[in-house]
Chains A and B, each alone.
Chain A
Amino acid sequence: MSELDLELVTSFLDEATDLLTEWERLCLLLEKAPGAQELNALFRIAHNIKGSSRAVGLNEVGEFIHFIEDVIVSLKDNKSEFNARKLKMFLGAHLILSDWFMVLRMETSYVHPYEDFLKEFFNEEKVFIDEQAVEQHEDEKGEEVSQKVQSVKNVLKDEVLRVSTKKIDGLLNLIGELSIQQSILENSMESLMGKNQDSLVISSLNLGRKITKEIYSTAFGLRMTPVGGIYQRLERAIKDLSRDLGKSIEVELNGSEVEIDKTILDKLIDPLTHIVRNSVDHGIENDQERKNANKSLVGKITITSLKEGDGVEIHIKDDGKGLNQKRILEKAIEKGLVKNTEGLTKEEIFGLIFLPGFSTAERVTNVSGRGVGMDVVMKTLEEINGKIFIASDEGKGTKFKIVIPTSLSIVDSLIVSVAQEHYVLPINVLQEVVDVRLIDLKKHDSVYVHRGEVLPFIHLREVLCEEKEFETSIIPILVTKVHGNRMAIGVDKIIGQHQSVVRTLSTYFDRSFAISGGTILPSGEPGLILNISAIVEKYFNFLMKKNEASA
């Protein structure tokens, strides 16, 4: 069994173990007061475990649960009555599944014997089990199984520990604080001791910093999970929907080993599900259409994850009919989402589908077309600093490209000084840092000529303090690139590089457009992470126009 499958199984088992806990709770509720609500919940759990176990290739589990599911369905439909025996059966199933899942963690091909259970509750001779053999080896076998379960239990006690993300976050927060205190200590040691630094103190400080860093990255790694964890869900969503719609679709999954922060990954599930469902529903044509378009009858959806720089890209590609620009425009006008359609680029037209209340589906299916979906996708992605791009060729297919950061909480950054205050700039938007003499700048006012390229220039003092005077004769200039626009940004001084732990700021900080977040500086003071894209967006066109005018 490949590592990937192992991971999938593990993630299934994690999920299923949670569901079993819920199962047990529901059983206890049922014992108190049996109700339709609990039964429904129980059914959902059983169904869910059945589906996921099949998705990861554990068909035996699915088969076992199928028996239980049938019982629940009959209870739901009031075909049979809930009683103590049924409850005992549910609890018995819970016991079997708990043991089963536990052993599966160690041995993925394990099949837990459940013949006794069937015999007890269903009075059935299980098809694939020879009754006599069972009788003969009953005692022996039962002992063997319980031994096996016991041994696995012992091993697992040491091996796996499920920790809630909240606790990890708490841990990370504390470690962040620790590293800040560490650097405050270092700074004060430096100023306290000056040149006569005790080598022992210094080395232990260094060691402390190293250890803190290691702890941080280890703890941080706890949050990282492979994208593959959500692939099976997506695949299942595609399969389920395609079956319902009568379309045959082949799914290709690539790069499942790429790791993303658990929180981000959890947030991604909904938007990605939405997109694939859209692809199945609107993208891939039905058989007739495909035949007419001279395409293979089997549609294809490819999901690929790539590590790109600091972030991760997820591509969802289908070979369906693609987006119809004309229909999008008509719909947008009809819904009053847009007035003037002239001069809109292809990308801008595609962008319309992310507007709230937009849906192009001609009939309202039970899958999509309720007008919510793409706007939710957009909103969710924005929450996690993600971006989405659409490329589509009519008749050939559509490709969604989602760009998301690996982690929300750590940013490689540059600390700069502007008017005696320190600010933090994310490094990924910077292209170059150059020292420039002021006299070279003044000649052109708001333009800096960088290697022959004319870049609009603005000093952060002007942005942050509305000051135009700079103190030093040589200033560092940061060349940035945002959405293809290159711009030069001046600062007073560059203080250094830092791995900033991002602290989300309260919403009232939004009033300052130039801020994207907060962090704690190495000195222990709070610092602001500048929103370079917002600054470039605000000043780029303004400066360009101004320069053109002056030219």
Chain B
Amino acid sequence: MILFIAKRAAQAVLVMLVVALIAFALFRYVGDPINNMVGQDTTFEQRQELRQTLGLNDPFFVQFARFVGHAVQGDFGQSYQLRQPVSELIAQRFPATFELSMVSALMALVIGIPMGVYTALNRKSISSRLFMTLSLVGISLPTFLIGILLILFFGVILRWLPTFGRGEVVQIGWWSTGLLTKSGLESLIMPAITLAIFQMTLIVRLVRAEMLEVLRTDYVKFARARGLKPRTVNFTIALKNTLVPVMTIIGLQVGSIIAFAIITESVFQWPGMGLLFIQAIHQVDIPIMAAYLMLIALIFVIINLIVDILYVVVDPRLRVSGK
């Protein structure tokens, strides 16, 4: 067990190092960092001096080690365009993305799991066929189009909800939250739904597939044969076993929610990390790109690790074969 976790943790560190290498290569070789830092009228000698003081003439591995050393402390240098430390920029934007992602993940779970269970239990009914067709439509609808449609109906035609930004936010220490004001909550509704729909369709289809699989197993048949109530069989026995694999996928989905947040934030001009990243790509602002890449990789790796460990905790069979 401990060996397994240690092995996974070592793998996670390796992944982070590979990502750091990519981020470093980006920073160092895409465009000249010096040209991006100084103005037009800097002389060649001044540039060379800056190059020397920044250590850009050092061997590759010395530079890489320094980069990793700084990154571990959360220092990613200055943004080329905004002339602010990247870590500050990201810290300002992080709460917006986090609140948006968590609210929509919750929405997707609360609606998606019951819908998946329902469609699995009533496989032949008309309403579950309708749900399944709708979920295929949901998968075919690109995220940005959902956002545009919502804006058109609720923002432009009905004028019920604000169409961009976060509304009023309340500062709690360095964290800014939009969950405590009316305009903040109103602004959150459409982006959260946009982000949730794609995840929800995935969860519905996944829960349904897993549930159907479990309903076919011998232990469920046996439970039925023993004359247990359908309720007990379906919800206590079948659902419990369904949720183990579903949990893994949902853990991974949290990562993809953050990735899809880029699109949602762009549609609604939501001032989060995704918007910062997409603007950085437009302007080839490498330090922001590198930092965002590292942060996303870190989030993914941590989630993966937690899911792996949870899996072993929940499923006793893995404890034996995991050695």
A binds B: no
